[in-house]
Structure 1
Amino acid sequence: MKIKNKILLALLITLLFSGITITSIWYGTSQSLMDTYLKNMSESTMRDAYHAFEYLLTDTSYMATLISTNGKNIIEPISNLNRKELRQNGQWNKEYLENRRSILDYIKGMIGYKYYISGITVAANEDCIFATSAIIQDKETLYREIQKLDQERLETSMVMMDPIHLEGLKYTVSSDYVVPAVRGIVDADGNLAGYVILYFDYGVIDKMFSANLPEGSYFQVVNEQGSLIFSNCGDDTSVFGHTGQGYAYHTFLAENVGWNFHMAIPSHFYISGIRQTALLSGGVISAILLAAGIISGIFISRMTTEITVLSEHMNKVSEGHMDTQYHVISRDEIGQMGHAFNHMVVRIRELMQKISEEERDKRRNEIAFLQAQINPHFISNVLNNAAWMAGIRHADNIVLLLRSLNSLLQNAMHAEEDLIKLSDELDYVDNYLTIMEYSGSYDFYVEKDIEEPTKSLYIPRFILQPIVENAIYHGLPEDLSKQGCIKISAWAKGEHLHISIEDNGAGISLQDAQQILVRNPERRKSFNGIGVPNVNERIRLFFGEEYGLHYESEPGQYTKCIFLLPVVKEVQDGNHKTGIGR
Structure 2
Amino acid sequence: MDSEKGRAMKKKKRCFSIRIKILIASLIIALSTTLVSLAISYYTEVDTIKSTMKTYTKEYISFAGDNFHEMMLEGRRILLSVAVKTDIVATGISKTASEASIEGYQKKKRIKSFLSGLISQKNYIDNILVVTENGQIYQASSELIVQKDMEEAVVKEALEATRVGLFYDRELEEVWMGCPMYSRGTQVASVLVKLNYKKITEVWGVEPLSGVEIYLYGTDGRIFFSNALDEEAGTELYQKVTADGHDSGDLLINGEKQYFICDLAEGEEMTAVGVVPYDVFTKSTRELGTKFLAIGLVAAIGSLTASVYLSGKICDNLNHLTQSMKMVRSGNLQVRANIKTEDEIGVLSDTFNEMMERISELLEEIKEKEKLKREAERDVLETQIEPHFLYNTIDSMQYVAHMRGETEIEEVSLALSELLRSVLSNHDECITLWEEREYIENYLTIERFKYRELFSLVWDVDESLWGIKLPKLLLQPLVENALLHGISEKESDGLIQIKVYRQEMNLTIKVIDNGKGMEQEEIDRLLQNIQRTDKSGFRRVGLANVFQRIKLIYGENYGGTIYSCKNQFTCVELRLPG
Does the alignment reach a TM-score above 0.5? no
- Shorter chain as denominator, the TM-score bin is 0.3 to 0.5
User: Greater RCO between the two (CA within 8 Å, min separation 6)?
Assistant: 2
Q: Under a length normalisation based on structure 1, what TM-score does the superposition of the two structures give?
A: 0.32
Q: Which has the larger radius of gyration?
A: 1
Greater helix share, 1 or 2?
A: 2
Q: Under a length normalisation based on structure 2, what TM-score does the superposition of the two structures give?
A: 0.33
